[in-house]
Amino acid sequence: MFSEKDFISNLSVIPFETKSFQWSSPSNIALVKYWGKKENIVNFLGEPAKQIPANPSVSFTLNHCKTITKFDVKKTTDGNFTFELLFEGKPKPEFNQKVNQFFLRIEEYCSYINYFHFVIDTQNTFPHSSGIASSASGMAAMAMNIMSLEKSLNPEMTNEFFYQKASFLARLGSGSACRSIKGNVVVWGKHDEISTSSDLFGVEFPSQLHENFHNYQDTILLVDKGEKQVSSTIGHDLMHNHPFAEKRFEQAHTNLSALKKVLENGNLEEFIKIVESEALTLHAMMMTSLPYFILMKPNTLEIINKIWKFRNETKIPVCFTLDAGANVHVLYPENVSETVLQFIQQELVGYCQNGNYICDAIGNGSQLM
């Protein structure tokens, strides 16, 4: 396992003038939620460590909701990285600050970026204004391209290092992005029962995933496609001095222990309890912070109640989870997908903005294109 120090690459011999890379990185949906960052942690240089989660989390990697990002890099002698950011081929100045912050955060570990000018062209496979967080897939795709560049400077690098550093860099861009690198179920944050787990990067779920979860379905109901009311960065900050924070962080550890067993033994009844409780707890934390806020919409609640009624009546193991927003992720096994999709189309689509929803399923992670 690598430590922060191992991720410092001081490569200074640039054996080419230009290179191009392209990666696709998926979004992910957390089952045990990351909400809150550790304060007062220092890294090996004695500097404040960034993006260290207050509790461990685990997510399903998605398959269709992706960001595709192309890097055209050109060697320069400026001594500082420069970049142009395009979204679907056109300049997108609104994204410059996030990308600049990402480069500044990774500079310590990838000083070679200062020998290059980057033309970054990015696009999403999901509608831009869908309210689906693109920061996880977006930052993961950035990190993959950076690692391709590093690999072309240091071809000897192992695959293990490649993916672990990619996750480490993605985390510096956006915490949940470190879970969009590799694997269909990814754990991020130190947990006692998962020896490979780390606060610094995501790791693949170490046990064999029960077949009940193979090709698990996630239909995302787009209830509200508006801009996020509260950015996650501000949201995470509200866990500092939150009256329930410590209990919540403990609970995430317990829930991850329980979910680990469930992912191994396929107990869907237990899966549903943990996943729905995590979603509601995330929103409960937002409702009880100062300032407090409510990100669910009336239609979010309508959908939740309909899912509960349908599950009670049919005994079909369908459940929901939520992100930091109003959209609902409907999760269910592949073998009931026909019936559940019918239910979604007949009873839930009416609660979606313009009837929009996205059918996704568990996927494998980032891919070189």
The site for ligand DP6 (CB under 6 A) is made up of 30, 33-35, 51, 57, 133, 135, 174-176, 232-233, 236, 282, 323-324
Nearer to ligand DP6, 175 or 333 (CB): 175
CA distance 258 to 329: 21
> Hey, how many other C-beta atoms are within 10 angstroms of the C-beta on 199?
20
DSSP assignment of 28-45: EEEEE----B-SS-B-TT
CB contact at 8 A, 143 and 166: yes
- Least separation in angstroms between residue 245's CB and ligand DP6 is 15
CB contact at 8 A, 256 and 203: no
Nearer to ligand DP6, 9 or 232 (CB): 232
Exposure letters 107-143 (e unless 16+ CB within 10 A, then b): eebbebbebbbbebbbbbebeeebbbbbbbbbbbbbb
- Least separation in angstroms between residue 175's CB and ligand DP6 is 3
Nearer to ligand DP6, 299 or 321 (CB): 321
- Least separation in angstroms between residue 139's CB and ligand DP6 is 8
CA distance 149 to 162: 11
Nearer to ligand DP6, 233 or 265 (CB): 233
In this structure, what token pair is assigned to residue 155?
């071809």
CB contact at 8 A, 340 and 332: yes
- Least separation in angstroms between residue 29's CB and ligand DP6 is 7
Nearer to ligand DP6, 182 or 236 (CB): 236
